[in-house]
Amino acid sequence: MTSLTLPQADGSLQPYTLSAPREFAAAVPPFPRLALAAAHMVVDPMAEQDPWVRSSIDWDRTIAFRQYLWSLGLGVAEAMDTAQRGMGLGWPDAQELIRRSLDAMRDVPGAVMASGAGTDHLEPTPETSIEDVIRAYDEQCGAVEAMGGRIILMASRALAKAARGPDDYIRVYDHVLRQVRQPVIIHWLGGMFDPALDGYWGEADHGKAMDVALDVIAAHAGKVDGVKVSLLDKHKEIAMRRRLPAGVRMYTGDDFNYAELIAGDEQGYSDALLGIFDPIAPAVGGALASLARNDLTAFHDILAPTVPLSRHIFKSPTRFYKTGVVFMAWLNGHQDHFVMVGGQQSARSLQHFSELFRLADKAGLLRDPPLAASRMRQLLALHGVS
């Protein structure tokens, strides 16, 4: 048995003994739900760089993690906020990331990937116009499609700043959806993930904002594969899911309630596009394999222990959840360091990491307990805990 000493919430130190990792059933697609994991970035800690300004990406490890996700039967949502898009990863590097991932995907039979296209290369200012936003969307959508990629239409900080009401959102999305070649996934990212997106769709009230989004989707249903809703409110997601046009999917972006939303009810279910699928990927594969066998008991048995972990990783300030995602990748040996784009490894406290470690262990997701414990001890030592 592997043990170590961990800080508690009150600052005291207590011994903790790790459990054995959980074995999950082999996941063989196709699954009864579409499941895309928004994947994280890996930097090169040995490169000469200014971490708060621009980080050097370790492309080999970054792409290897995508290959790992595909090997588990999951799809990849590329260059999204989990990859620190808008929090250190700019459009030039995002474009290169998408290109490299598409190249790697071609060697994986049946692999699925969709990539974020937005306006993040356009710096919002008081002078930013709706025409500027449209041109920015056109540039990124055109670049993704030129590479042969599918589009996840990301929410736009520039649009949120420039718009004067719902009509401006309708104008922008009408234009973009008329131009794209293939159906896209529209991403509605709530202000808890990015405060600059508060009041998206031109309405502060989520119910009224939902009406605007649904009108846009209904007008272009043939160009919308689905909508990913990241509001961390299952009731709002279910309400919107039940109003979607036939053939338009709901991709849950609810990292607090994904298990029950994916399981669904008598009126439907959600597919999934989630950042939490990055650190809990083996459990997701096992759960979807259970769902394919119509074994809901096993499905919930696998995912239930991951929910407290996810709620902890995504706790307020939610935008710093990427730190916990990359921390898990380090604990599990997917990379040999815990250095993030923009120095974001500093965004969470030692107590936060300690509780994350315990919750990951309880979910059976530390695949090599001695390695995970050794790395946790390194972090503790760095913070002065021997």
pLDDT over 90 (residue 51): no
What share of residues in the chain are helix, strand, coil (percent, to 5)?
Answer: 45, 15, 40
- What is the model's pTM? 0.95
DSSP, res 265: B
pLDDT over 80 (residue 28): no
Tokens of 198: 């508060």
Percent pLDDT > 70 in the chain is: 100
The stretch 75-84 carries a mean pLDDT of: 97
pLDDT over 90 (residue 25): no
Residues in CB range of 210: below 8 A, 6 or more apart:
201, 236, 239, 240, 243
pLDDT recorded at residue 26: 74
13-17 and 3-7 beta bridge pairing: antiparallel
pLDDT recorded at residue 1: 83
pLDDT tens, 187-217? Answer: 999 999 999 999 999 999 999 999 999 999 9
pLDDT recorded at residue 318: 94
pLDDT recorded at residue 83: 97
- Class of residue 64 by CB neighbours under 10 A (exposed 0-12, middle 13-18, buried 19+): middle
> Is residue 365 very low, low, confident or very high in pLDDT (cuts 50, 70, 90)?
very high
Tokens of 56: 């050097």
pLDDT over 90 (residue 27): no
| Domains of the chain, start order | 27-318 (3.20.20.70)
Q: What is the dihedral of CA 291, 106, 185, 70, to 10 degrees?
A: 30
β-partners of residue 6 are 14
* DSSP helix/strand/coil, 27: coil
pLDDT recorded at residue 355: 98
pLDDT recorded at residue 336: 94
> Per this entry, what is the length of the chain?
386
Dist CA 158 CA 142 (whole Å): 18
pLDDT over 90 (residue 50): no
Dist CA 208 CA 316 (whole Å): 25
pLDDT recorded at residue 345: 94
On average, the pLDDT of the chain sits at: 96
The stretch 278-303 carries a mean pLDDT of: 96
pLDDT tens, 318-363? Answer: 999 999 999 999 999 999 999 999 999 999 999 999 999 999 999 9
